[in-house]
Homo-oligomer: A and B are copies of this chain.
Amino acid sequence: MPASYAYLGPEGTFTEVALRTLPEAATRELIPMVSVPATLDAVRSGEVEAAFVPIENSVEGGITTTLDELVAGSPLMIYREVLLSITFALLVRPGTKLSEIKTVTAHPAAQSQIRNWMKINLPDVVWESSASNADGARLVQEGRYDAAFAGEFAAARYGLTALETGIHDAENAQTRFVLVGRPARPAAPTGADKTSVVIWQRDDHPGGLRDLLGEFAVRGVNLMLLQSRPTGQGIGNYCFAIDAEGHISDRKVAEALMGLRRICLKVRYLGSYPRADIGVEDVRAPLPGTSDEEFVTAADWVARCQDGRF
């Protein structure tokens, strides 16, 4: 297996920074790709070991390209997630003053984070979109724009200076990234894990979605994310990407997935992996009756009943 990771490029973006927070990234060749589909195709084709892409942004929502790639095509699995707080720096060529800025650029997604700051600090400046924040920085270096919003880490790469750092409209703005590979045994449970699946409903009736969620609820499994995506069969047809607390090796999660598999038209397993938001010490105690031990005890009791030994 090639010791390389593909990631959504170009170099110098938040994605690269997030990827480098993974210890194993230091020992891989990191290959920037031009798009999310291209990044995931690289892992599907076996060209790289894994792919690293953004999947969700706390301001913008789900990264639909990533979700749709995971939902369709040959199966992939998520092995890790990374949360990165997103704040911007205003990068200029050395010597440029704030008052001299007439044009700024950044990826369109940056707008939701810098809009208010711009209104106050750069009210008369012309905004133009660039293909990525890193590309915006490059265009400033080339003199096409006076300033770019990008991660502070991009300054050094493009020979720019940060006039301002920590720019953000929304507190707690974060992006979630995932490390995706071909199907293999999930990482061992850490005690603070999550499990991702995509489900397609068998039919549509009052209570249908409630009953699907009931497969988790009745076993005390908490949901972290429910994201609908169109199936491509026309308005009104959706599948649901679900993140649930726990690991597929947890009895309650395994039984809930079995339940979904039975009553859904289709279920796609996307992996079980360590949570990036909290550690083991912050995981809530299971509801009464839903610990692994209680599942084992109950299964043992039923087996004894089946044998008449109780």
Contact = CB atoms under 8 A, between A and B. Distances in A.
Interface of A: 56-62, 64, 75, 77, 83, 170-174, 176, 183-186, 202, 204-211, 213-230, 232-238, 240, 248-249, 254-255, 257-259, 261-263, 267, 269, 277, 287-290, 294-295, 297-299, 301-302, 305-310
A62 B213 CA distance: 22
Nearest to A276: B235
B230 A209 contact: no
A298 B210 contact: no
Given A206-B287, A213-B209, A235 B58 contact: yes
Contact of A294 (B224, B254, B262): B262
29 contacts: A56-B230, A61-B228, A62-B228, A170-B232, A174-B235, A185-B307, A204-B222, A206-B223, A207-B217, A208-B222, A208-B223, A209-B226, A215-B218, A218-B218, A224-B236, A225-B236, A225-B238, A226-B228, A226-B238, A248-B302, A255-B255, A257-B302, A258-B298, A258-B299, A261-B298, A262-B289, A262-B298, A263-B289, A267-B301
Contact of A213 (B83, B210, B294): B210
A204 to B, nearest CB: 7
A227 to B, nearest CB: 5
B248 A305 contact: yes
Contacts of A184: 308
Contacts of A222: 204-206, 208
A75 B233 CA distance: 32
A210 to B, nearest CB: 4
A206 B216 contact: yes
B230 A308 contact: no
A258 B57 CA distance: 32
A249 B234 CA distance: 28
Contacts of A305: 186, 248, 257, 269
Contact of A185 (B214, B269, B308): B308
A174 B234 CA distance: 6
Contact of A216 (B210, B219, B302): B210
